[in-house]
Amino acid sequence: MSDPVKVLYVAGLGRSGSTLFDRMLGQIPGFFSVGELREVWHRGLQQNALCGCGEPFLECPFWAKVGQRAFGGWDRVDAGAVQALANQVDKHRWVPLLARPALWPAFDAKLRRYLESLGPLYRAIREVGDTRVIVDSSKAPSTAMIVRHLPDVDLRVLHLVRDSRGVAYSWTKKVQRPDIVGETVYMHQFQPFRIGTRWVTRNAFAARLSATGGVRVRYEDLVDTPRTQVQRVLDAIGEPTGPGDLDFVMDHAVRLEPTHTVMGNPSRMTSGPTELRLDEEWRRKLPRRQARVVTAITWAGLRRYGYRP
């Protein structure tokens, strides 16, 4: 039997710097960044959105090889059926059941059918990418728990957290997606109250998932001390580095080469030297009333993760 596929799963809530960290880790020899892999069935196969390399998903040479290795070609995958199956098991409300799916045989059967598509996908990525570690920034706790059910996957969790006020403000912005060609599509927007409650639950589950064999990093620390935080992650998952492996990390910038990310922040489409600058625009632009509401909802978590409510 071959060695298990090591997956470094970035857990938490979107707009916390996950795309940046995902791509940074993908620059390390032996690591391969795939972005939000849970979106491959819809964003990749159904929408044919642009890969992080700039090519449409179905025309990207890397993903074409993955599809061939995993399924004999993407044309042999019923993307709609697989996505429908994912929608029935990969939801936040099913997290308690995903801990013990056998309690509901019908749910367990659906989960097993979904794993039959997911398992070959991870194995093919490792083989085609010739990598030791796959970096998956899907973030959703439910996805991480599903991946844990794959018998040949060694899942490690990176809990990435950011100040809740910064996250809430970021979700109010109107941001165009650059990976959809021929039409104007914007990323989802949510009100601060909803993001505040989601910040609490997502980070609580992420903290639990990373409690064994994982590590927690704050977005603010990543921007301030990038090399230190990258090294912390490598130490936590038992991955050594060689001379020059982290040379792409500088004091206040990183040098990013293109990666084959499926989904993520629009910044995944850019490459080259990237300045690391702490985004605290929320301190000036998040309305005071909304800031107070988010602070009240997330007070306990802010203190737990070292922020000042």
Q: Which two tokens stand for residue 186?
A: 């914007």
| Residue 267 contacts residue 19 (beta carbons within 8 Å) | yes
pLDDT category at 1 given cuts 50, 70, 90 is very low
Q: What are 93-127's pLDDT values in tens digits?
A: 999 999 999 999 999 999 999 999 999 999 999 99
- Interatomic CA distance for residues 14 and 124, integer angstroms: 26
Q: What is the mean pLDDT of residues 130-148?
A: 97
- Interatomic CA distance for residues 109 and 115, integer angstroms: 10
Reported in sequence order, the residue ranges of the chain that DSSP labels E, i.e. its strands, are 5-12, 31-35, 133-139, 153-161, 215-218, 253-256, 272-275
pLDDT averaged over every residue in the chain: 96
- Interatomic CA distance for residues 57 and 40, integer angstroms: 9
What is the maximum span of the chain, computed from C-alpha positions, in angstroms?
57
Q: Which two tokens stand for residue 166?
A: 């910064």
Q: What is the mean pLDDT of residues 237-252?
A: 94
Q: Which domains does the chain have, with CATH numbers?
A: 5-304 (3.40.50.300)
First vs last C-alpha separation in the chain: 50
The CB density around residue 283, as the number of other CB atoms within 10 Å, is: 11
Q: What percent of the chain has pLDDT over 70?
A: 100
Q: What is the mean pLDDT of residues 251-268?
A: 95
| Residue 171 contacts residue 203 (beta carbons within 8 Å) | no
